[in-house]
Amino acid sequence: MKNLFGFCFLFCFWLTSAASAEEKAPTLVAPSPAQVQDTATKNGWWTVGLETANNASFFGRNTAQQYPYVAASLTYTHTSGLFISAMSYQLFNTEDFIDETDVSAGYSFKIGNRFDGLVSYSRFFFGPNTPLVKSVTSNAATASGTLDWKYLLTGVTASYIFGGSSDLFTVLDNSRYIPLQNLWKGKNPVGIDPKFSIIAGTQEFAQTHTVETQNKKKGLGTVLDPLNPIGNGNGKGNGNGGTTTTTTTTTSKRFKVLNYSITVPLVFSLYNVDIEPAYRFALPVNRLEGDESKAQSYASLNLSYTF
């Protein structure tokens, strides 16, 4: 019942926001030429989104149990490039109605005709019973750049995650949009945007060192070391007091590749709505002991309306 009610609530929220809009405007990520023309005289635009997928992940890591989710988002973008957004997630088969809410603010910009940049700060809020891997942290500072060099669209993103734990992650993307509407002379933009991604980041390693020290005591009989009385002394009167074992554990962070993935989305625009079903296969590597992440297929659907 919780899943059905939550999905209906978020879906109705998206439909209500879409129905109240009066004019088409460009999206923050990839506006079409027609959308840019429609918003040439505006100071900014709103984007309402709805997203659903068969599982959640965080920089290539996931839980052993799958958690399908639905998420609603609302973003305002000013023509200067400043933006603010909020996104709430509801996971199926969990106790909390809202499992996560992210609030972000940032600035997007262009350098020339081929480079797009973005800097942002995000704050994460989690339900008390959330099972998400992401819940170990609460903040993210992100910078990204995308270069269109004709043959590929290459993007690099660096995120510093902090609060509870701190880590640095980088994502390298290579993609190329392939239009398909000419195949059947369609009027609405449609195409595929295959993307190959490599995620790298820091991991915390624990190293244990054990040192045995021989205790030498003068005199006859058994001599006990008050700091390590167990196992001291051999009782032979030769002055050997036994050994002391010292164990120390140190932790360090190493930067390694964490995940490889390939994503194939179908990008389709229909009047005021952008529709993007996608398939993604992710392969985690260099897993630490206790990491339950495994190779997995993801199916997702994104809907967005901009006004």
For residues 203 and 209, the answer to whether their CB atoms sit within 8 Å is no
Whether 30 and 151 share a structural domain: yes
225 is written with which tokens? 């070391």
pLDDT at 79: 93
Cα(307)–Cα(295) distance, rounded to whole angstroms?
38
Total Cβ atoms within 10 A of residue 306: 25
Whether 284 and 297 share a structural domain: yes
pLDDT at 45: 92
Q: Which domain holds residue 23?
A: 2-206+251-306
For residues 191 and 176, the answer to whether their CB atoms sit within 8 Å is no
Which residue has better confidence, 110 or 11? 110
For the chain, how many structural domains are there in total?
A: 2
* Amino acid (one-letter) located at 212: E
Cα(48)–Cα(5) distance, rounded to whole angstroms?
20
Whether 155 and 264 share a structural domain: yes
Q: What is the mean pLDDT of residues 70-78?
A: 96
The closest alpha carbon to 241, from 218, 269, 268, 272, belongs to 218
For residues 94 and 132, the answer to whether their CB atoms sit within 8 Å is no
Which residue has better confidence, 32 or 187? 187
| E-assigned strand segments in 127-239 | 139-148, 153-162, 167-175, 178-179, 190-192, 195-216
Which residue has better confidence, 206 or 154? 154
Whether 113 and 211 share a structural domain: no
Question: Per-residue b/e over 187-224, b at no fewer than 16 CB within 10 Å?
Answer: eebbbbbebebbbbbbeeeeeeeeeeeebebeeeeebe
Residue 243 pLDDT > 80, yes or no?
Answer: no
Residue 62 maps to which CATH number?
2.40.160.40
221 is written with which tokens? 């009989």
Whether 222 and 87 share a structural domain: no
The H or E element that residue 243 is part of is strand 240-270
Which residue has better confidence, 124 or 209? 124
Residue 20 pLDDT > 50, yes or no?
Answer: no
Predicted confidence (pLDDT) per residue in 33-45, tens digit: 344 445 445 789 9
pLDDT at 224: 46
Name the percent of the chain lying above pLDDT 90. Answer: 45
Whether 181 and 149 share a structural domain: yes
pLDDT at 102: 95
Strand partners, 276: 302
Whether 124 and 221 share a structural domain: no
Q: What is the mean pLDDT of residues 258-285?
A: 92
Res. 211 pLDDT band, cuts 50 70 90:
low
Whether 182 and 224 share a structural domain: no
Q: What is the mean pLDDT of residues 79-98?
A: 90
pLDDT at 181: 78
Upper half-sphere CA count for residue 242 (Cβ side, 13 Å): 17
Residue 58 pLDDT > 50, yes or no?
Answer: yes
Please report, to the nearest 10 degrees, the dihedral formed by the alpha carbons of residues 67, 121, 49, 111 taken in order: -130
Predicted confidence (pLDDT) per residue in 116-138, tens digit: 999 999 999 998 888 887 878 89
Residue 17 pLDDT > 80, yes or no?
Answer: no
Cα(73)–Cα(85) distance, rounded to whole angstroms?
7
Whether 223 and 287 share a structural domain: no
Total Cβ atoms within 10 A of residue 284: 22
Whether 211 and 179 share a structural domain: no
Whether 104 and 229 share a structural domain: no
Backbone angles phi, psi at 188, to 5 degrees: -85, 135
Whether 63 and 97 share a structural domain: yes
Residue 21 pLDDT > 50, yes or no?
Answer: no
